[in-house]
């Protein structure tokens, strides 16, 4: 059931290994990269409680020792104080230039751990062992690392590619249903942006995947990683095509800012709602058929996901304020809002040519149902 996807980036190329029970093989897979049999693991307290022993024994079975630092779970950890603690801990553990840092957790640990590896001694190698669905299909691949600033999300960081990614699909079994579905929002995004057949496959297999069917999980993670790897190989530092991966994100970032990056809306939930809105906007601009947004929403609803603005608990600002929040996104270029729109399911494209009034009217109508 194991799959390997290669991320083809010349001398920075690496493999993403996907399948059940990979933690048990962590030592065998990582050992050939080590110059001494010891790694430093950054993780969060939740993942540590559930899976750190399994990682330790997987490493030990190949004679690799580990030392670990568990940071608090949650987005607030992606900040200077925890970053400083992580880097100073790595120095105190005498992690050297040729050693390997392991980021073992969801996207928060992957982003923070990758950034710590990027700056430690001007850059050490790191291995991603992503444990959330979101991290397995998205954040662990592609080399974007970083932390949040008081001014906004992901504003401090570096491109630093991992040397290996081990996506153990067995560990997904301990995710809360909410965190699992938030990650599924990113899986759906891949079908919507570039692979109509994959979206159709998800419509048929999403329920089994959500219920825990391992073969389906491996297949969904593999297809998602393959799509991300292809896009990243074409455009590593997001000069063009990589922006396609931001389908749904312009809306999502405004909604995350409006809800204070709190538990009211998880990132993947915002992506799902944002994809539905991006298709609605595309249909109104006459780019895709009217049926496409309905089909997107129907699948999200069938999976029990947040789909509409009314699914976000609490009050939201008005449409004008949401558009203003979009304008603060770091992906705004020369003050122009950039959107990923679609000519149909699986046919996304990047454009700055979107009338503000069209965005406003989509949001006004979406807010009217709240
Ligand atoms: N670098 C990138 O390209 C990229 C892409 C997308 C998102 N991100 C970032 O990823 C972050 C979101 O990632 P996330 O959703 O994984 O968040 P997260 O790391 O906070 O994980 C979500 C929750 O799930 C828990 N968890 C993780 N694995 C678990 C497991 N196997 N069992 C039980 N609980 C588990 C965590 O402790 C946490 O409470 C955001 O900070 C976002 O900016 C980065």
Chain-centroid distance of CA 296 in Å reads 20
Of the listed ranges 166-180, 208-222, 282-296, 347-361, the one predicted with least confidence: 347-361
Of the candidates 149, 64, 151, 59, the residue with the CA atom closest to the CA atom of residue 111: 149
Average pLDDT estimate for 301-319 = 96
Nearest atom in ligand 1 to the alpha carbon of residue 145 is 1
In the reported structure, the alpha carbon of residue 216 is separated from the centroid of ligand 1 by a whole-number distance in angstroms of 21
Residue 231 has pLDDT above 90, yes or no: yes
pLDDT tens-place string over residues 20-75: 999 999 999 999 999 999 999 999 999 999 999 999 999 999 999 999 999 999 99
- Residue nearest ligand 1's atom 11 by CA: 107
Give the span between the Cα atoms of 327 and 337, in whole angstroms.
6
Could you give the CA distance from residue 291 to residue 211 in angstroms, rounded to a whole number?
Answer: 28
Task: Assess contact for 327 and 337: CB atoms under 8 A.
Answer: yes
**Index of the ligand 1 atom closest to the CA of residue 132:** 28
> How many other β-carbons are positioned within 10 Å of the β-carbon of residue 35?
10
Residue 285 in contact with residue 341, Cβ under 8 Å?
A: yes
DSSP code string of 224-258: HHHHHHHHHHH-TT-SSGGGGGGTTHHHHHHHHHH
Structure-token pair, residue 5 = 């996807």
Residue nearest to atom 30 of ligand 1 (CA): 175
Residue 21 Cα to chain centre, angstroms: 21
Q: How far apart are alpha carbons 250 and 244 in whole angstroms?
A: 11
In this predicted structure, what is the pLDDT of residue 359? 94
Domains in the chain (CATH in brackets) are 3-173 (3.40.50.1970), 177-368 (1.20.1090.10)
Distance 335 CA to ligand 1 centre (A): 30
- Determine the distance separating the centroid of ligand 1 and the alpha carbon of 139, expressed in angstroms: 8
Q: Is the pLDDT of residue 334 over 70?
A: no
| Model confidence pLDDT, tens digit, residues 101-120 | 999 999 999 999 999 999 99
Q: Which are the catalytic amino acids?
A: 122, 144, 186, 228, 238, 242, 246, 249, 253, 267
Between CA 181 and CA 265 the distance in angstroms is 12
Q: Which of 16, 41, 103, 107 to mutate to test the pocket of ligand 1 (most atoms within 8 A of CB)?
A: 107
Q: Which of 348, 133, 331 is nearest to 247 (CA)?
A: 348
3-state secondary structure 27-85: HHHHHHHCCCCEEEEEEEHHHHHHHHHHHHHHHHCCCCEEEEEEECCCHHHCCHHHHHH
Pocket of ligand 1 (CB under 6 A): 44, 46-47, 50, 73-75, 78, 105-109, 111, 131-132, 134-135, 138-139, 142, 144, 153-154, 171, 174-175, 179, 182, 267
The reported pTM is 0.96
pLDDT of residue 331: 62
The per-residue pLDDT for 369 is 84
The pLDDT value given to residue 239: 87
Q: For 255-298, what is each residue's pLDDT tens digit?
A: 999 998 889 999 999 999 999 999 999 999 999 999 999 999 99
Confidence band for 240, pLDDT divided at 50, 70 and 90:
confident
Q: Are strands 125-130 and 100-105 parallel, antiparallel or unpaired?
A: parallel
Pick the closest to residue 190 from 131, 121, 122, 142 (CA basis): 142
Percentage of the chain with pLDDT > 70?
98
Q: How far is CA 273 from the centre of its chain?
A: 15
| CA–CA separation, 343 and 236 (whole Å) | 25
Look at the chain and count its residues: 370
Enclosing H/E stretch for 11: none
Can you give the C-alpha Rg of the chain in angstroms? 20
Per-residue pLDDT tens digits for 124-164: 999 999 999 999 999 999 999 999 998 888 899 999 999 99
Among protein residues, the one whose CA lies closest to atom 14 of ligand 1: 107
Ligand 1: distance of its center to the CA of 266 in Å? 10
* CA of residue 75 to ligand 1 center, whole Å: 8
Nearest CA, atom 42, ligand 1:
107
Task: Kindly state the DSSP code that residue 212 receives in the 8-state scheme.
Answer: T
Annotated binding-site residue? 131 = yes
Within 13 A of 56's CA, how many CA atoms are on the CB side? 12
């Amino acid at each position: 059931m194991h799959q390997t996807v290669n991320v083809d980036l010349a001398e920075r190329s690496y493999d993403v290994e996907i399948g059940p029970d990979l933690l048990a093989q962590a030592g065998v897979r990582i050992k050939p990269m080590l110059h001494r049999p010891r790694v430093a693991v950054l993780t969060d307290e939740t993942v540590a409680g559930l899976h750190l022993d399994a990682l330790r024994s997987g490493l030990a079975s190949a004679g690799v020792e580990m030392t670990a630092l568990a940071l608090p779970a949650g987005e607030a950890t992606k900040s200077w104080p925890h970053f400083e603690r992580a880097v100073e801990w790595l120095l105190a553990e005498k992690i050297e230039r040729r050693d390997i840092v392991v980021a073992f957790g969801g996207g928060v640990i992957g982003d923070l751990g990758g950034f710590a590896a990027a700056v430690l001694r001007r850059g050490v190698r790191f291995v991603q062992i992503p444990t959330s669905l979101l991290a397995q299909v998205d954040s662990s691949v592609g080399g974007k690392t970083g932390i949040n600033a008081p001014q906004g999300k992901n504003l401090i960081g570096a491109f630093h590619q991992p040397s290996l990614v081990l996506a153990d699909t067995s560990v997904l079994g301990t995710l809360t249903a909410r965190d699992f579905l938030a990650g599924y929002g990113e899986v759906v995004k891949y079908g919507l942006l570039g692979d109509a057949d994959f979206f159709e496959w998800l419509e048929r297999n999403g329920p089994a995947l959500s219920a825990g069917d391992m073969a389906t999980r491996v297949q969904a993670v593999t297809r998602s990683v393959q799509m991300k790897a292809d896009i990243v190989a074409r455009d590593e530092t997001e000069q063009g095509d990589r922006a396609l991966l931001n389908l749904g994100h312009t809306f999502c970032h405004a909604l995350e800012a409006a809800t204070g990056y709190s538990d009211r809306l998880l990132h993947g939930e915002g992506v799902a709602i944002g994809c539905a809105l991006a298709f609605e906007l595309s249909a109104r601009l006459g780019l895709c058929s009217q049926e496409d947004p309905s089909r997107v929403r129907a699948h999200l609803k069938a999976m029990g996901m947040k789909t509409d603005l009314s699914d976000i608990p609490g009050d939201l600002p008005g449409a004008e304020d949401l558009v203003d929040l979009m304008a603060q996104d770091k992906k705004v270029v020369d003050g122009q809002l950039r959107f990923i729109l679609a000519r149909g399911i699986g046919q996304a494209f990047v454009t700055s040519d979107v009338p503000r009034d069209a965005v406003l009217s989509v949001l006004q109508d979406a807010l009217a149902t709240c």
